[in-house]
Amino acid sequence: MVPTRVRMLGVALLAALPASTAGAQSPADFYKGKTVELDVGYSVGGAYDLYARTIGRYLGRHIPGNPTVIVKNMEGGGSLRLANWLYRVAPKDGSVLATIGRGTGFDPILGQQGAQFDGTKFTWIGSANNEVSVCVSWNATSGITRFEDLLTKEITVGGTSMSADTDQFARVVDGVFGAKMRIVSGYPGGNNVVLAMERGEIQGRCGWSWSSVMATHKAWVDEKKITVLVQLALRKHPDLPNVPLVMDLAKTDEQKQILKLIFARQTMGRPYLAPPGIPADRAAALRKAFMDTMVDKDFLADAEKEKLEITPVDGADLQKLVAEVYATPPDIEKKAAALLNGK
């Protein structure tokens, strides 16, 4: 018979062992009673914020253990500040998620200063939609009514940072086609850009998600306060059959390669991700929970009420896409990076 003291010592040692040896903690056990933080890389009121708050109301019911999901904002650098924090500082246990700009994950290969991460190492959870972005003009002040006008007339457009779509997409259109968009950058979020357009500070916006336009400013379209000049994606949106697609405007193979590198990000229109290295079972649970949320009837009813376009992409596909983009030939990367940096 084993002495009582030895048995007690054995129990104490077993309790001190890590979960991997003493019996792995399941996702449900980990998340039960916990709070999951969902950080938004932009200010309150914009489309990224609206998507996150709507998703956050339902995501917890699909994560094993049903944790509480709270949404916070960490604006700065067109979500680059949040991306760096998520990669370098945030807990790597699955308790923190984030939504960043759809192109922010590609900043390191496109020469964006301040990017302190490798996008392939993030844990990509999913995207709420496969996006089409647009460039628009404010009809009251711009004098721009079609894409061809951008080649001969200057328009002032608002941006949030050098690493954000608002700035990058305008630079690419300028660099590839010779358009004349002057960028006024530094607005804290997309909502601030559209308010500046309405006040007459600027004359347009480039890199504005069509889903965001319809969710927040559909009346401007209906009342013809804005004109959609070009679609920025790999495919047209069914709402915009008569608006030119940027890919169709390319005249050379090099232009097509550059445009594909930049606009591949549109597939991850509203991306959600976690830090690198979270436990594989929790990553799988979060990916499943995200996709289950995307078909939740209550969520879809709420999204429809908020006019949010939902065309989800799962996390495994995002992980693959990011890896493919990071494998772009270096000469194309350099040329695209030069355009994004205004060189």
> Could you report the per-residue pLDDT of 116-142, keeping only the tens digit for each?
999 999 999 999 998 899 999 999 999
The token pair that represents 44 in the structure block: 């309150």
Selected residue with higher pLDDT from 280 and 7: 280
Domain 26-130+267-332: CATH superfamily is Bordetella uptake gene, domain 1 (3.40.190.150)
Q: For 205-271, what is the HEC assignment?
A: EEEEEHHHHHHHCHHHHHCCCEEEEEEECCCCCCCCCCCCEHHHHCCCHHHHHHHHHHHHHHHCCCE
Query: Is residue 18's pLDDT more than 50?
Result: no
Predicted confidence band of residue 343 (pLDDT cuts 50, 70, 90): low
- β-pairing, 204-209 with 133-138? antiparallel
* Topology of the domain comprising 133-265: D-Maltodextrin-Binding Protein; domain 2 (3.40.190)
pLDDT digits (tens, 9 = 90+) for 158-176: 999 877 889 989 999 999 9
Q: For residue 331, is pLDDT > 90?
A: yes
Residue 12's pLDDT is 45
List of residues 6+ apart from 283 with CB closer than 8 A: 94, 123, 125, 274, 315
Q: Write down the pTM of the prediction.
A: 0.74
pLDDT tens across 251-299, in order? 999 999 899 899 988 889 899 999 999 999 999 999 999 999 999 999 9
What are the pLDDT digits (tens) for 206-258? 999 898 898 889 999 999 999 999 999 988 999 999 999 999 999 999 999 89
The ranges of the chain annotated as CATH 3.40.190.10 are 133-265
pLDDT of residue 19: 40
Q: Which residues pair with 232 in a beta bridge?
A: 133
CATH 3.40.190.150 residue window(s) in the chain = 26-130+267-332
